[in-house]
Structure 1
Amino acid sequence: MEGCEMSGFATKAPVIAFLHTSDVHIATFDALCDRLAPDLKLHHEVRADLLQDMTPGGCCAPGFLSGTRAVLTALAEPPTALVLCTCSTLGPLAEAIAEAENLPFLRFDRPMADAAVAQADRIAVMGCLEGAVHATGLLISDAARRAGRQIDLQTCCYPELWDLFCDGALAAYHAAIAEQLAKVAATTDLIVLAQASMAPALMLGTEIPVPVLSSPELGFRA
């Protein structure tokens, strides 16, 4: 096994295990690995069913906690050095479970939240799932509290765009996000993307006059 190809657990080398709720994220993080840490070994676990067991408000279907605990515990088995959750909606509960079980774990959006409050006082959170927007807003508020910063936080949710993602219309999805980014930029000093799936919209060349932070690269660098 070389570079950042998807790995199983047959290798004895340390592995970074990713917990995704969509397989669309695999290529994103493999590309980051190739660019930033080509010798790192990755394992990708895609569990869309975990996200389906959560309501927009963050409530869980019966068995969600035990199921998620089982997934995280299995992922943390040696040779895994760290488990990373790339889903903002799932992140808070996964983090709580990992802390209770003393598992090596990182929410990929936490470094992004810390960077946001260090750079701006007026921050906008954009997302297409209510649960992701809510979770990211709470995370940024917590980061501001820990940093002793006062922030003005606004949230913007576009659930209609999520249908494009679910239908596999990724080009239209990212184009629509880029359009909304340009509008929100007029009302804030910094924008945070609540979902990793939104990050490719930044590559479309749309002029956005304020910084835009997304979790994939910031989380990977952490």
Structure 2
Amino acid sequence: MTPHIRLISATAISIEPVQQAFQALWPEARLSNLLDDSLLDDLRTAGHLTPAITRRIDQLATLSAEAGASGILFTCSAFGPAIEAARDKLNIPVYKPYEAMVSHAVARGERLGLIATYTNTIEEMREAIQTQSTVTTKPVHLETRLAKGAIDALESGDRKTHDALIVECARELHDCDILLLAQFSMAPAATIIEPQAGQTVLTSTACAVELFKQQLGSSFR
């Protein structure tokens, strides 16, 4: 039986990078997609996570489970608390896009450099890293950079500028031993970052795929 991973997205630009990661790292998994590209607009308009948006996240997760998904991966980092609430109601693995990367980075690094293209993502991931550090009693130092203008460039079809802005941020974090590229849409930029000696570049896509493969791969052999 083939494992079925449902990808739930709020923007189309997150889908291809994670599909590529699955193809490279776990091609046996069967992928399906749900896209609600009004979610981000509604979140931006409201300025915060509303009960209505939280209900919609819950409905998307429930629909995916009822469709037979073995696991659910949300590809957008802006809906963390809503994803957690939806996960509590289901009996299959449900993950936020950056969870696996945060666990990996805290376990293996001391000076972490986080790059994101959304301000809200930085704050949400800062909290996630602090929580993971506390739970594992592993102290870490975190530096963050916002790649200003990158997401606007990508949404207008200019990936070259988007990736160049991320590389510029990476250069500023040369003292960090692990660089974290926060969003799925940022993953392709990892191929053009030139890490410092001893520095590791993590993408949320690859870490998420590896986590699902570890959890579900042996169950479907």
**Could you say which TM-score interval applies, normalised by the shorter chain?**
0.7 to 0.9
**Residue 189 (structure 1) aligns with:** 177
Q: What are the within-5 Å matches in structure 2 for residues 44-193 of structure 1?
A: 44-55=33-44, 59-61=48-50, 63-99=52-88, 101-104=89-92, 105-186=94-175, 188-193=176-181
SS at match of 1:217: helix
> For each residue in 1:14-47, what CA deviation from the matched residue of structure 2 results, as whole angstroms up to 9, or x when unmatched?
4210112222233222222222222221101122
More helix by share: 2
Give the 3 Å change call, closer, same or farther, for CA 63–149 of structure 1 in structure 2: same
2-side partners of 1:159 and 1:54: how far apart?
A: 19
Q: Do residues 207 (structure 1) and 201 (structure 2) align?
A: no
2-side partners of 1:203 and 1:133: how far apart?
A: 22
1-side partners of 2:15 and 2:117: how far apart?
A: 20
SS at match of 1:76: helix
Deviation at 1:113, TM superposition (A): 0.5
**Residue 215 (structure 2) aligns with:** none
SS at match of 1:48: coil
What amino acid is aligned across from residue 190 of structure 2 in structure 1?
L
8 Å contact kept, 1:20–1:48? yes
SS at match of 2:66: coil
Q: TM-score, normalised by structure 1?
A: 0.84
Task: List structure 1 runs of 4+ shifted beyond 6 angstroms.
Answer: none
SS at match of 2:49: coil
2-side partners of 1:14 and 1:119: how far apart?
A: 29
What amino acid is aligned across from residue 22 of structure 1 in structure 2?
T
2-side partners of 1:68 and 1:75: how far apart?
A: 11
SS at match of 1:90: helix
Q: What RMSD, in angstroms, separates the aligned Cα atoms of the two structures?
A: 2.2
Worse overlay, 109-118 or 20-29: 20-29
Name which structure has the greater RCO, CA cutoff 8 Å, separation 6+.
Answer: 2
What amino acid is aligned across from residue 198 of structure 1 in structure 2?
M
Give the 3 Å change call, closer, same or farther, for CA 197–44 of structure 1 in structure 2: same
2-side partners of 1:63 and 1:57: how far apart?
A: 11
Q: Percent identity?
A: 23
